[in-house]
Amino acid sequence: MRIQSSHHHADRGLDAYFSPPEAVLSLLQIEAQHLPKCIWEPAAGDGAIVRPLQEAGFTVIASDIADYGLAGCRAGVDYLTAGPIPGVQGIVTNPPYKLAARFAEKALGQTFYVALLLRTNFLESTARLKLFRQHEPARIWISSRRLPMMHRHGWAGPRAPSNTCFAWFIWDKRSSEKRVIDWFDWKLMASSSKGPPPRGDRQTARCVEAGPEGIRARILSLPASTVAS
Ligand SMILES: C[S@@+](CC[C@H](N)C(=O)[O-])C[C@H]1O[C@@H](n2cnc3c(N)ncnc32)[C@H](O)[C@@H]1O
């Protein structure tokens, strides 16, 4: 499903406002010891999360319900009805906010590691209490400095600070940590960036063996029922 107007995506409620690279570069540092090798970005948008992860050496599978022209991204995949992809070890995304809890539940049923960039008020609401009680986040990384504003696809205007506070919500079934709250300053992260963090834990072996082409083949063969029209 290729839709040309990016305004249209936002207006249609797809929440097509894309993450600033600073958020992803920060994640690479604060979660350097935990990010698994093979990651699925299931609401990839124009690749704001996909690209920095790939540049840092991760194998990233990208899909989205809509098409923003991101090379290698499988468009037309509604994550909420998509089947699992063998070899995927973690989900990293900034989901559409109104579907964020459903994305979290779905991801937690599929993988051991989930990182979602969300407004900090995701912590509130009685509706989400059940999710937090059933699945306690391991770590919540609050952006102490407001992130640059999220913009629509193709935005070339000025970059102003957001008026909203964001955090990385991390669920990690391998970790004994529960509800650890910490802070990061993306400006310090960006200035101290030394390139890709070290990786290569034993749990990455299956994904590495499958290779990016193998994984892509699997996502392209998702059942038609998982593909939105
Ligand atoms: C807030 S944007 C974030 C995009 C990207 N993750 C980023 O960080 O820049 C939300 C994205 O979710 C996609 N989306 C909305 N509903 C979806 C669904 N049910 N399944 C998959 N993607 C969806 C939109 O098309 C949009 O690209």
Residue with CA at minimum distance from ligand 1 atom 2:
16
Q: Which two tokens stand for residue 48?
A: 């704001």
Residue with CA at minimum distance from ligand 1 atom 12:
43
Pocket test for ligand 1, best of 1, 74, 94, 105 (most atoms within 8 A of CB): 94
- Summarised one tens digit per residue, pLDDT across range 170-223 is 999 999 999 999 999 999 987 775 544 444 332 332 333 343 344 433 333 333
Q: Is 49 in the pocket of ligand 1 (CB under 6 A)?
A: yes
Q: Is 43 in the pocket of ligand 1 (CB under 6 A)?
A: yes
Picking from 113, 6, 133, the residue whose alpha carbon sits closest to that of residue 69 is 6
Higher per-residue pLDDT: 98 or 151: 98
Say whether 36 sits in a helix, a strand or coil.
coil
Average pLDDT for residues 39-64, to the nearest whole number?
A: 97
What mean pLDDT is reported for the chain? 83
**Strand pairing partners for 140?**
169, 181
Cα(176) to ligand 1 centroid in Å equals: 30
Q: Is 15 in the pocket of ligand 1 (CB under 6 A)?
A: yes
Element (H, E) at 38: strand 38-41
- Summarised one tens digit per residue, pLDDT across range 78-90 is 999 999 999 999 9
Q: Is 47 in the pocket of ligand 1 (CB under 6 A)?
A: no
- Summarised one tens digit per residue, pLDDT across range 143-179 is 999 998 887 777 777 777 778 999 999 999 999 999 9
Cα(41) to ligand 1 centroid in Å equals: 9
Alpha-carbon gap, residue 52 to 196, rounded angstroms = 9
Alpha-carbon gap, residue 205 to 201, rounded angstroms = 8
What single string gives the DSSP state of each residue in 42-82?
A: TT-TTTTTHHHHHHTT-EEEEEESSB---TT-EESB-GGGP
Picking from 23, 4, 13, the residue whose alpha carbon sits closest to that of residue 190 is 23
Cα(10) to ligand 1 centroid in Å equals: 10
* Atom number of ligand 1 nearest to Cα 14: 15
Say whether 229 sits in a helix, a strand or coil.
coil
What percentage of the chain exceeds 70 in pLDDT?
78
The string over 173-185, giving b where at least 16 C-beta atoms fall within 10 Å of a residue's C-beta and e elsewhere, is eeeeeeeeeeebe
Looking at residue 202, its pLDDT comes to 28
What single string gives the DSSP state of each residue in 145-197?
A: SPPBPPEETT--S---B-SS-EEEEEEETT----SEEEEE-HHHHHHT--SSP
Radius of gyration of the chain (CA): 17
Domains of the chain: 6-226 (3.40.50.150)
Alpha-carbon gap, residue 181 to 198, rounded angstroms = 23
Q: Is 186 in the pocket of ligand 1 (CB under 6 A)?
A: no
**Strand pairing partners for 60?**
39
Q: What is the pTM for the complete model shown? A: 0.84
